[in-house]
């Protein structure tokens, strides 16, 4: 295999939910950062990221860990296509986000990235089922299709008995499960979680991390951003961030010095396999 080729953005995909979100159409490299920098203007300017490179393959479970000010939120915004780098390249499922218009970025984000936040961000006045079904609003699925997929995703996170309930009636752990179901209902290429256990007590937090492990086992690609080393250590791979640089990357196949075989020809196990079964 040769070095990854930047995909030309095809424009909004077919409105059929299954088509548009079909992971099978995505390359095995879900995320690629190449010497990414982000400088915030000011006096003096702040170099929040100073040359970050790493690659995430389909099916990985990655923890990105670093102390306050290390650049985690900045990195999250870039990976989640909410912002563009100052220099360097961010490719999400092969698309160079610097080359996309705002509309194209929104479409890429809606179709390929699922977000989970510390604060859950559920619509309190809507049922659990509708909260999750809203995760498909931009996928072009019909109302019954959205509800069917939502019920399926909620079953997957163990909340089949809560479909009609309002989020206010749920515990913190259950709320986060709803948020995870909402993030995954559109079959994103990656799930991006920002301090997902930050508002949970430790045993509830552990059960959410167990759920991530299960979902990953079923094929979901998950990236968890956290300041908590205990959380990061539950991930298959840990990338440590400090002062806007990658300090360490536990995956030996992705050395920090960037000298890996970027074409992936050396092959991770997952490179050539079929699209994962989830959900
Ligand atoms: P973390 O999430 O790890 O705490 P951030 O990405 O939030 O790190 O911040 C990294 C650095 O960039 C910090 O020095 C922070 O003060 C600075 N920074 C973050 N966002 C902005 C911004 N919008 N404008 C200016 N400086 C910022
Ligand atoms: Mg932060």
The verdict on the CB of residue 69 being under 6 Å from ligand 1 is yes
> Nearest residue CA, atom 12 of ligand 1?
48
Residue 135 confidence class, pLDDT cut points 50, 70, 90: confident
- 3-state DSSP assignment of residue 58: coil
> Nearest residue CA, atom 6 of ligand 1?
71
Model confidence pLDDT, tens digit, residues 34-75: 999 999 999 999 999 999 999 999 999 999 999 999 999 999
Tokens of 55: 């690659």
Tell me the CA distances in angstroms from 274 to 118, 154, 196, 200, one per residue in order. 32, 25, 29, 35
Comparing 58 with 26, the larger pLDDT belongs to 58
In the chain, the domains with their CATH numbers are 17-272 (3.40.50.300)
pLDDT at 57: 95
Whether residue 63 contacts residue 233, with contact meaning beta carbons closer than 8 Å, is answered with yes
The pTM of the full predicted model, rounded to 2 decimals, is 0.84
The verdict on the CB of residue 175 being under 6 Å from ligand 1 is no
Half-sphere exposure of 135 (CA within 13 A, CB side): 33
Biggest CA pair distance of the chain: 54
């Amino acid at each position: 295999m040769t070095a990854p080729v930047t995909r030309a953005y095809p424009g909004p995909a077919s409105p059929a939910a299954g088509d548009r979100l079909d992971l099978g159409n995505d390359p095995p490299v879900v995320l690629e950062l190449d010497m990414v920098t982000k400088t915030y203007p000011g006096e003096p300017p702040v170099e929040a990221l100073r040359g970050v490179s790493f690659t995430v393959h389909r099916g990985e479970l990655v923890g990105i860990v670093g102390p306050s000010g290390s650049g985690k939120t900045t990195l999250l915004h870039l990976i989640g296509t909410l912002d563009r780098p100052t220099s360097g390249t961010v490719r999400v499922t092969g698309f160079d986000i610097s080359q996309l218009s705002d509309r194209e970025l929104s479409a890429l984000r809606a179709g390929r990235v699922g977000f989970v936040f510390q604060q859950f961000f559920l619509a309190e006045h809507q049922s659990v089922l509708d909260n999750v079904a809203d995760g498909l609003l931009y996928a072009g699925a019909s109302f019954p299709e959205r509800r069917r997929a939502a019920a399926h995703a909620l079953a997957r996170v163990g909340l089949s008995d809560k479909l009609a309930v309002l989020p206010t009636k749920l515990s913190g752990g259950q709320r986060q499960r709803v948020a995870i179901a909402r993030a995954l209902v559109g079959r994103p290429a990656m799930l991006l979680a920002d301090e997902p256990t930050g508002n949970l007590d430790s045993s509830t937090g552990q059960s959410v991390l167990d759920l991530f492990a299960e979902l990953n086992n079923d094929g979901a690609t998950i990236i968890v951003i956290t300041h908590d080393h205990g959380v990061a250590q539950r991930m298959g791979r840990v990338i440590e961030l400090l002062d806007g640089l990658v300090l360490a990357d536990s995956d030996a196949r992705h050395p920090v010095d960037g000298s890996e075989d970027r074409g992936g020809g050396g092959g991770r196990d997952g490179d050539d396999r079929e699209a994962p079964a989830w959900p």
